[in-house]
Amino acid sequence: MILTVTLNTALDITYRVPSLRPYASHRVSAVTERPGGKGVNVARVLAALGHEVTVTGFAGGTTGRILRDRLTEVPGVVDALVPVSGTTRRTVAVVDERSGGTTQLNEPGPTVAHAEWSAFQELYGDLLASVSAVALCGSLPPGVPVGAYAGLVRTARAAGVPVLLDTSGAALRRGVAGRPDILKPNAEELAELTGFHEPSRAAQDARRRGAGTVVASLGPEGLLAVSPEGRWRAAPPSRLRGNPTGAGDAVVAGLLSALVEHRPWPDRLTRAAALSAATVLSPTAGDFDRPAYERLLSGITVTGEASAAQVSP
């Protein structure tokens, strides 16, 4: 079982319009609505790959009830969300069908009370006893301490469970000090954390700050991994046109999937890069195109080398 944590879950709403124009009225050609938040998206991909996944975090209000109802429709995903008195946020993505671009609007999320946070921490500790890996994903809702992820990382490590952290801003700066086994920022988040814009140097600095392995999403250029075991880059065979929404979450799913299968780092990166690219190619934001994924597995180029002393992450 893999555990994904989404403290700031969301109901993801996607509008498709023929052409998005500022200050204009638009006729929406299609609407989709699905449970979301980064860890929920990760869980959906993991389940599609055949893994059993438990989702935890917070959900509340009418939006939270809709989210949990929709979550029951995802085979292989177990709902362990903690109820809160506030209302789960919505995220709205507007897809411009002419350009393929997406405009995203993200609500802040409900304020989490101290008792609700304590209830989550207790449940989280219990869940760790039966999982093989955990992903801590996304933003922190109001009321949750800024150092929350550092504490959750330490709790997982104390339980002997490998932990991946995927967040940004202050939550990332504080969270890396907990020493996550894998840190998964994008290039912008990595530069903000370290002050370095050259990815390899920034990744090495993030390791100095506490991350065991850093896997950075570099957009069309693929992935960079800097690990005690070595350094590698993984890239798709060509630049891809499509919707990148959820591509980073697919990377997390690929890394966790290959981690629990004890795959070496080049295999982990191949799977993660193929899933990310297949997500960009999917007609539905946050899903991956399975035939494209199968094709891309043999088309991903991985370069780099192992270190002289092999150390597991």
Catalogue the active-site residues: 249
d(CA 164, CA 254): 12
Burial class (CB in 10 A: 0-12, 13-18, 19+), 102: middle
d(CA 25, CA 18): 12
d(CA 76, CA 47): 5
Burial class (CB in 10 A: 0-12, 13-18, 19+), 61: middle
State residue 263 phi and psi, 5-degree precision.
-80, 150
d(CA 142, CA 62): 18
136: β partners:
5, 165
